[in-house]
């Protein structure tokens, strides 16, 4: 049975959209998913499912969260292969930049060329980004505390949903998803 990773956006941030990871795990199990495990409080869930459609999985999970917890949450489902691709192809890793300054934004869809160009028309220096289909590689040389290249900016300019994880989390999710 295939393994997937669900990335939830905006839960357990600043006291908003609170979900205990034990409750989230129980929800996934109630949906019939197997080998469910969560990683940290920001909404990362590794699970197995017979369902092969990522769009359908996202819909099932987001609908269940709305019903059980009473709010909407962006859910992006990926495969371990996507994480492996990121780790092997991240251009900032290849430049040997400080790992703790590297992040990846996951997009719900591939943005249009027009919207990519609109985003590119603005200088976000010293922050850097590279778009690769539904992935944005990020380098924040001054840390992630007050970045300009935020989920809200990407959603506004690219007209797609977005959620971001640091490289440490991506490494751990890849490791955990390959043990399932």
d(CA 131, CA 69): 33
Question: Domain 3-78 sits in which CATH superfamily?
Answer: SP0830-like domains (3.30.70.1280)
- Candidate CATH numbers 3.30.160, 3.30.70, 1.10.3470, 3.30.110; the one for domain 81-177: 3.30.70
Query: In angstroms, rounded to a whole number, what is the distance separating the alpha carbons of residues 23 and 123?
Result: 42
Q: Can you give the pLDDT at residue 14?
A: 58
DSSP string, 109-158: SPPPHHHHHHHHTS--TT-EEEEETTEEEEE-TT-STT-SS-HHHHHHHH
Tens of each residue's pLDDT in the chain, 180 residues: 999 999 998 775 655 777 888 999 999 999 999 999 999 877 899 999 999 999 999 999 999 999 998 888 889 999 999 999 999 999 998 776 678 889 999 999 999 999 999 999 999 999 999 999 999 999 999 888 888 999 999 999 999 999 999 999 999 999 999 875
pLDDT in tens, 9-27: 877 565 577 788 899 999 9
Beta bridge partners of 164: 105
Structural domain boundaries in the chain:
3-78, 81-177
Distances (CA, A) of 71 to 21, 78, 84: 16, 22, 32
Same fold across 3-78 and 81-177: yes
Q: Model-level pTM?
A: 0.92
DSSP code for 16: B
Phi, psi at 128, each rounded to 5°: -130, 150
């Amino acid at each position: 049975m295939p393994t997937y990773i669900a990335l939830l956006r905006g839960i357990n941030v600043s006291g908003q959209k609170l979900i205990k990871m034990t409750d989230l795990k129980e929800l996934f199990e109630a949906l019939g998913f197997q080998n469910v495990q969560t990683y940290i409080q920001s909404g990362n869930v590794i699970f197995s499912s017979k369902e092969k459609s990522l769009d359908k999985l996202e819909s099932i999970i987001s609908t269940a969260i709305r019903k059980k917890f009473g709010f909407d949450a962006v859910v992006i489902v990926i495969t371990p292969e996507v994480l492996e691709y990121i780790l092997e192809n991240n251009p900032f890793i290849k430049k040997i930049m400080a790992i703790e300054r590297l992040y990846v934004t996951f997009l719900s869809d591939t943005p249009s060329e027009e919207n990519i160009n609109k985003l590119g028309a603005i200088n976000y220096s010293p922050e850097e980004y590279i778009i690769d289909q539904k992935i944005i590689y990020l380098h924040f040389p001054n840390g992630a505390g007050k970045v300009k290249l935020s989920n809200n900016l990407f959603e506004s300019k690219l007209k797609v949903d977005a959620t971001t994880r640091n490289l440490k989390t991506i490494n751990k999710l890849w490791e955990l998803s390959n043990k399932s």
